[in-house]
């Protein structure tokens, strides 16, 4: 065996999926990307993602489940948690004590939430005060078109859905920035300090109420418009969930159209991949869960986050229905925590270590651990489970790679993996490499998207 043959047999290196993919599969991957772009455009908040996903599940024969309902072998169910989290599951024929197969993604993304008392006017402009959600670079959210999404719950118990700024004939919203001619002081600050959190105020309008002269005429006119269109008054803001998101649709990148730009790839790209893998699966043996969780970007706390007991409760209900020991089921279950990683970016090579980074078009990325510094705040997947995942990916022709998030001590991040692993369930992160993660407009590869879908299909059979 010569050196070239020996290197081929023994060395590990990332390989582009373009090297091995057939023309037929390449065509399928690009077609899959089109349906994903529709999902991304229609799911800019967790509530919208739940609503869209429920409709997808219903079309495939899944029915709504409530805690305490009967559960049957072969049953296909979804649990809608307050409109902000979704658990879709299929009950298999195999003994449940062999373990369940769990995929868990999140459907929240960084954004600008309106404060509970947001509306004011100043110097001829009407504005909304905001409180940013998740880890953002604040300067990236100025001077970009924004759309307003959310729900207004009124005191009489009725609600109004809000979506303004997505259609071309609708107005958008806007956070201003300084002109460079007067930005000497601003530009001498660090990027983190150039735009403050309290400075992320959204321009909403400028026309005053003109029927008669009054103080706060611009604010009053805006309240009049909201009342006429949505039947709301200012107090209704206090029980509303309104958020500003980029008013941009998913678009192909490049002359070859091989990449996708869009808002919220992190982590709706994995949510869509795991959900469609379950809905497309014809296997009736395994019990499979697809979790679409909320609040990951802020720590997974609260009633709709992965740290709530909801998933454990649903799993316990299925165990009870099947006469299975809950603790045994957990110990034998397996989970793919479906979350993204940072793709190597040649514009910023200094923050990633090349041998342990992931690359666009090199397939789905496994992340054995996340966390920061000395692997703090992470679930570190076992060697045995990592080998198991490698094995089924290889057997099913899935192009994959292994990476960690950046150089040691460069920073770090987390996923829902540790919360599921804390239940005594083997868990590893699996997802898509993302360029410009947490920016208002992120980028991914179509082949990586498709290989992530294939990975979930291989996992659940």
Mean pLDDT of 340-357: 96
Cα–Cα distance for residue pair 406/412, rounded to 1 Å: 7
Q: Is the pLDDT of residue 184 over 90?
A: yes
pTM for the model: 0.96
Identify the CATH class of 111-246: mainly beta
Question: What confidence tens digit (pLDDT) does each residue in 241-284 have?
Answer: 999 999 999 999 999 999 999 999 999 999 999 999 999 999 99
CA separation (Å) from 124 to 75, 205, 207, 393? 59, 9, 8, 59
Domain ranges of the chain: 10-109+263-460, 111-246
> What is the residue-averaged pLDDT of the chain?
97
CA separation (Å) from 50 to 164, 268, 420, 430? 19, 11, 21, 21
- Assign domain 10-109+263-460 to its CATH superfamily: Zn peptidases (3.40.630.10)
Model confidence band, residue 446 (pLDDT cutoffs 50, 70, 90): very high
Cα–Cα distance for residue pair 30/12, rounded to 1 Å: 28
Mean pLDDT of 306-327: 98
Q: Is the pLDDT of residue 207 over 90?
A: yes
Question: What confidence tens digit (pLDDT) does each residue in 148-169 have?
Answer: 999 999 989 999 999 999 999 9
Cα–Cα distance for residue pair 427/102, rounded to 1 Å: 9
Question: Contact 351/281 with Cβ under 8 angstroms?
Answer: no
Question: What confidence tens digit (pLDDT) does each residue in 393-436 have?
Answer: 999 999 999 999 989 989 888 999 999 999 999 999 999 999 99
Question: What confidence tens digit (pLDDT) does each residue in 96-141 have?
Answer: 999 999 999 999 999 999 999 999 999 999 999 999 999 999 999 9
Model confidence band, residue 5 (pLDDT cutoffs 50, 70, 90): confident
Calculate helix-pair angle for 446-460, 265-280, nearest 10 degrees. Answer: 40
């Amino acid at each position: 065996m010569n050196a070239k043959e020996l290197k081929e047999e023994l060395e590990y290196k990332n390989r582009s999926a373009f090297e091995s993919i057939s023309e037929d599969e390449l065509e399928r991957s690009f077609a899959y990307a089109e349906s994903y772009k529709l999902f991304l455009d229609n799911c800019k908040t967790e509530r919208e993602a739940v609503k869209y996903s429920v409709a997808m599940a219903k079309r495939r024969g899944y029915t709504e489940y409530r805690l305490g309902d009967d559960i049957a072998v072969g049953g296909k169910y979804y649990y809608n948690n307050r409109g902000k989290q979704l658990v879709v599951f299929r009950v298999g024929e195999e003994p449940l004590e062999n373990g369940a197969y769990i995929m868990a993604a999140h459907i929240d993304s960084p954004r600008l939430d309106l404060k509970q008392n947001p509306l004011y006017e100043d110097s001829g402009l009407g504005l909304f005060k905001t409180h940013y959600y998740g880890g953002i670079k604040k300067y990236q959210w100025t001077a970009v078109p924004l759309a307003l999404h959310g729900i207004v719950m009124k005191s009489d118990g009725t609600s109004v859905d809000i979506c303004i700024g997505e259609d071309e004939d609708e107005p958008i919203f806007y956070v201003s920035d300084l002109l460079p001619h007067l930005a000497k002081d601003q530009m001498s600050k660090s990027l983190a300090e150039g735009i403050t959190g309290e400075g992320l105020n959204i321009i909403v309008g400028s026309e005053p109420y003109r029927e008669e002269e009054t103080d706060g005429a611009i604010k009053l006119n805006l309240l009049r418009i909201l009342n006429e269109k949505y039947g709301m008054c200012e107090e209704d803001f206090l029980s509303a969930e309104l958020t500003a998101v980029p008013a941009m649709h998913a678009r192909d990148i490049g002359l070859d159209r091989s990449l996708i730009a869009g808002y919220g790839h992190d982590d709706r790209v994995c949510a869509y991949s795991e959900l469609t893998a379950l809905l497309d699966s014809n296997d009736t043996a395994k019990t499979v869960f697809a979790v679409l969780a909320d609040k990951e970007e802020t720590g997974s706390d609260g009633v709709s986050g992965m740290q709530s007991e909801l998933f454990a409760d649903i799993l316990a209900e299925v165990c009870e229905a099947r006469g299975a020991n809950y603790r045994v089921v957990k110990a034998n279950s397996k989970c793919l925590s479906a979350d993204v990683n940072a793709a190597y970016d040649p514009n910023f090579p200094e923050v990633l270590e090349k041998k342990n980074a992931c690359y666009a078009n090199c397939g789905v990325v496994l992340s054995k651990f996340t966390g920061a510094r000395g692997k703090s705040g992470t679930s570190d997947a076992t060697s045995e489970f990592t080998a198991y995942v490698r094995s089924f990916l290889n057997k099913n022709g899935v192009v994959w790679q292994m990476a960690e998030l950046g150089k040691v001590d460069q920073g770090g991040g987390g996923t829902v993996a540790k919360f599921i692993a804390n239940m005594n369930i083997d868990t590893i992160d699996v997802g898509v490499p993302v360029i410009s993660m947490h920016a208002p407009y992120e980028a991914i590869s179509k082949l990586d998207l498709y290989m992530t879908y294939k990975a979930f299909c291989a996992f659940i059979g």
